[in-house]
């Protein structure tokens, strides 16, 4: 599956952004979809994931309660709604896909075989 991320931008602290990831390929519905982010000088880190069925999600502690992942298999898209943004959320955000990956493994980067190109999110204080 090929992925295309979009929706990044500049926002003030406390604001919101909605990222989208468009997927091509007829097997999208069988993929666990995740978001990662990478700030300058830091390693890529897990943000959140949604299972292939859409029935379960998992989030990093740093974004829990502020970010929400959803998916629309009919349109082949996954979204990351980001609310109450903080300056420390500034990073390049990447969507990633892994076929049937269980939630216990979603933070592990090596399990993903498809990545989007990244979209920049900048939160000003």
DSSP H/E element including 80:
strand 77-82
Tokens of 40: 């300058």
pLDDT for 27 = 84
Confidence of residue 92 (pLDDT cuts 50, 70, 90): very high
Q: Is the model's pLDDT at 25 over the cut of 90?
A: no
Task: Work out the average pLDDT over 37-58.
Answer: 97
> pLDDT tens for residues 71-89?
999 999 999 999 999 999 9
pLDDT for 26 = 73
Dump the DSSP string for 43-101. --EEEEEE-TTSS-EEE-TTTTTTEEEEEETTTTEEEEEE-S--GGG-EEEEEEEEET-
22-26, 46-50, 77-81: segment of lowest average pLDDT: 22-26
Higher-confidence residue of 93 and 29: namely 93
Mean pLDDT estimate for the chain = 96
pLDDT for 108 = 97
């Amino acid at each position: 599956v090929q992925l295309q991320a979009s929706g990044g931008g500049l926002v003030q602290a406390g604001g919101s952004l909605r990222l989208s990831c468009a997927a091509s390929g007829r097997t999208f519905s069988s993929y666990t979809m995740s978001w990662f982010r990478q700030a300058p000088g830091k390693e890529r880190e897990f943000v959140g994931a949604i299972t292939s069925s859409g029935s379960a999600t998992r989030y990093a502690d740093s974004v829990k309660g502020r970010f929400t992942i959803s998916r629309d298999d009919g349109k082949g898209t996954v979204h990351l709604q980001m609310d109450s943004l903080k300056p420390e959320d500034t990073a390049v955000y990447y969507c990633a896909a892994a076929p049937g990956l269980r939630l216990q493994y979603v933070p592990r980067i090596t399990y993903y075989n498809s990545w989007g190109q990244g979209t920049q999110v900048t939160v000003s204080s």
